[in-house]
Amino acid sequence: MIGTLQSMTGYGNADGMVASHRLSVEVRSVNHRFFTPSIKLPPALTRMETDVRELLRRHVTRGHVTLSLRIEREMTEGPRIDVKRLLAYSQQLRAIPESAGLAVQIDLASLLRLPEVVTSAFQDDSALADVDPVAVLALVTDAVHALVRMREAEGTRLAQYLLDRLVIIEGALDRLAARAPGRLVEQRDRLTAAVQELAAGVAVDAQRLAQEIAILADRYDVAEELSRFASHNEACRVAIASPGTEAVGKRLGFILQEMVREANTTGSKANDAAMQRDVVLIKEELERMREQVENLE
């Protein structure tokens, strides 16, 4: 699992002979904030639940995981007729008095359809009590490995999707960085012209005007936000490329929260139609990323 991105959604199965029993194992996983296993074993194998749980924990960090182990039952002999039960049904039916007003007609076909008269002799589950637990765990391991392979395949697809979104975001950030200096000059010129118009020929304190322009420039300057955004983008790429042993989904979730915060601040400072369009684009892509990150382990 080290170095491989995994989705929390997947399926795996395995079946095989363990001693004289054919066992079938199915494992499914869906999104969940934590590791929450649900294990269903035959009564004779419930003693192995702890071992199965630990096996799952070694391969799955997050997600709701359901594992079921079934016995593919085989007939040990043909159908059996419970003659004693059949005769008992017959005697009770014959004992119904005519005064009850019921027309009782007894035939063999009807008796055979009564409950538990005809039974099937299946392999007894209790025979599993002596089965080798190592062999059972090996079968479970095969199913879990199949689950992990599917989760990794889906994780690879999600990783590419996230990287594609980052490329779009970085393009928008480049446009914002290119537009920001010119926008500050425009705002400065607009403020200067507005002050001169309001002054109507009266001399304006140049130092005070310079201070107001400096305050305006600080209020609208997005260089710091764009710099932090670039750092978050790099952290996001590193997390996708080298997830390590931690739950990368949580880490990416935290990074995206910071990216959204920077996008909101940039939007509030933009005061420019072109920049606002790119900010909206960034927010849309971040939301798409957030939806997919929730699927990552």
Most confident by average pLDDT, 122-136, 139-153, 169-183: 139-153
Q: How far apart are CA 72 and CA 21, in angstroms?
A: 8
Same domain? For 217 and 160 the reply is yes
63-71/35-40 β-pairing:
parallel
Tell me whether residue 203 is in a domain.
Answer: yes
Give me the mean pLDDT over the 14-25 stretch: 87
Q: How many CA atoms lie within 13 A of 277 on its CB side?
A: 5
Percent helix, strand and coil across the chain, each to the nearest 5: 65, 15, 25
Residue 4 lies in a domain: no
1 found inside a domain: no
**248 in a domain, yes or no?**
yes
Which contacts qualify for 203-210: CB closer than 8 Å, 24 or more apart? none
- Range with top average pLDDT, 215-224, 240-249, 275-284: 275-284
Domain enclosing residue 112, as ranges: 80-119
Confidence of residue 293 (pLDDT cuts 50, 70, 90): very high
* Residue 211 and residue 256 in one domain: yes
Residue 217 domain-assigned (yes or no): yes
What is the average pLDDT across 197-209?
Answer: 63
Is position 5 within any domain? Answer: no
36 and 147 in a common domain: yes
DSSP β-bridge partners for residue 27: 12, 67
* 139 and 115 assigned to the same domain: no
Residue 283 maps to which CATH number? Answer: 1.20.140
In a domain? residue 21: yes
| 5: confidence class by pLDDT, cuts 50, 70, 90 | confident
Instruction: Name the domain count of the chain.
Output: 3
Same domain membership, residue 245 and residue 163: yes
What are the phi and psi torsion angles at 8 (to 5°)? Answer: -90, 0
Residue 264, H or E segment: helix 248-270
> Is there a single domain that holds both residue 63 and residue 103?
no
pTM of the model: 0.69
Burial of 252 (0-12, 13-18, 19+ CB in 10 A): buried
Residues 211, 134, single domain; the answer is no
Cα within 13 Å of Cα(75), Cβ side: 6
With b for 16 or more beta-carbon neighbours within 10 A and e for fewer, the 47-56 pattern comes to ebeeebeebb
- 110, 62: one domain: no
Residue 2 lies in a domain: no
The alpha carbon torsion through 15, 17, 22, 25 (nearest 10 deg) reads: -30
SS (HEC) of 199-223: HCCCCCCHHHHHHHHHHHHHHHCCH
Tokens of 220: 């609208």
Q: Are residues 87 and 52 in the same domain?
A: no
Supply the CATH number for residue 43's domain: 3.30.230
Strand partners of residue 28: 11, 66
For residue 176, give the nearest of 287, 263, 286 by alpha carbon: 263
Assess whether 266 and 220 both reside in one domain: yes
Whether the CB-CB separation of 86 and 97 falls below 8 Å is answered with no
Categorize the per-residue pLDDT at 220 as very low, low, confident or very high, splitting at 50, 70 and 90: confident
Look up residue 247 and give its two tokens.
């739950």
The span from the CA of 30 to the CA of 36, in Å, is 10
- Are 29 and 139 in a shared domain? yes
Same-domain pairing of 236 and 273: yes
Residues above pLDDT 90, as percent of the chain: 46
